[in-house]
Structure 1
Amino acid sequence: MGDDDQQPGVTVAGTGFAPMLEAATKTNIEELVKLVNGTEKPTAENLGKLKTGSLGMTAGVIKALQRDPDNAALTARLAGELAMADTVESALLMRQILVTGLSEPNVAAQDAAVAEGDRRITALDREISALKNEMELKRELANNSVLTIIGREINRVETNPQTQYEDNTDVRFNQLAVPPADNK
């Protein structure tokens, strides 16, 4: 039947990385909004509040977002991408810890511990694969939207060019006094 630790009801079902990703995204949106709208300055300390994994965030990126007319949509997208990077890095770190733990001699000598470690590594691999698939799908969907929007804008500009002509009202007024040329 196993040890006391292996009895039914001892373990708690996991929820995967979704809650971790949602929490990181929420934190990033809140912090990025403060930085982009100017409530907080983009100092190293304030940028450090973002959940970015090993991705660096700079004041230059924040300043570029501040100047962009579509900064709300871009801020939300950036928050999600940074949160995804942070979550994936955490998952990979957890996997590496398990792999390293399995190579410890006392653990390696326990068949049950090795089997449990392998089972958990397999579960982590599935979660990491799911995160990767989600990230790729989001990127494809976002790229499709972005490419469509940019393509439509280029089409509008090409079919309806908005060229401005310099208009000098003084010259036009003075031309009223000049008699039309005789074309005989």
Structure 2
Amino acid sequence: MGTAQTPRRITMTPAAARVVEAAARLFYERGIHAVGVDLIASEAGVTKKTIYDRFGSKEQVVVEYLADRDERWRAFLTERLDTAGQEPVARILAVFDASRAWSEEHSTKGCSMVNAHAEISDPSHPAHPIIVGQKAWMLALFTELAEEIRPKQAGDLARSLMLLHEGALVAHGLAVFPDPITHARDQAQALLATASGTARQG
């Protein structure tokens, strides 16, 4: 699967962990730019000095928030894939199932990476590689899975699956219509049925 540029990380102390926990909740609910260090410190029960001593900047708090979300999502998805078996279509559909379960529990307002990118589009921001890195990892995962179905057209199939997946995450965050991830899964299943049939004929 794809690899992202590794950002600088800090060693977590109990106080730092409280900061990241508080910041994660605030950033996701209110937006990164709308949340200041004063509020994070108050919610975490620490001083601003503690935050700057440990993290150095608000930007590093953002890095830790997004990196933690990314690591937890990858572990969650990997566990779901491990239990999905070896059949390639089932493994691809398991990605959509995992995203639906994750979104219902952790991402009621949409994908945290997509939301963060709306505020952090500058490639020089230290959190930017985490945001784009997760999406590159997802595309690499879809490509790896698609290779088992259509080896010669794996890239095209993976990009189509990625568009269904990411579009569903955005629609989920906007609440435009009910259960967009299940709808995307159904569309992916139809696409995979066609792809599998074409591969057998070829």
Structure 2-normalised TM-score? 0.31
Instruction: Select the structure of larger CA radius of gyration.
Output: 1
The higher relative CO (CA closer than 8 Å, separation ≥ 6) is in 2
Name the one with the larger helix percent.
2
Structure 1-normalised TM-score? 0.34
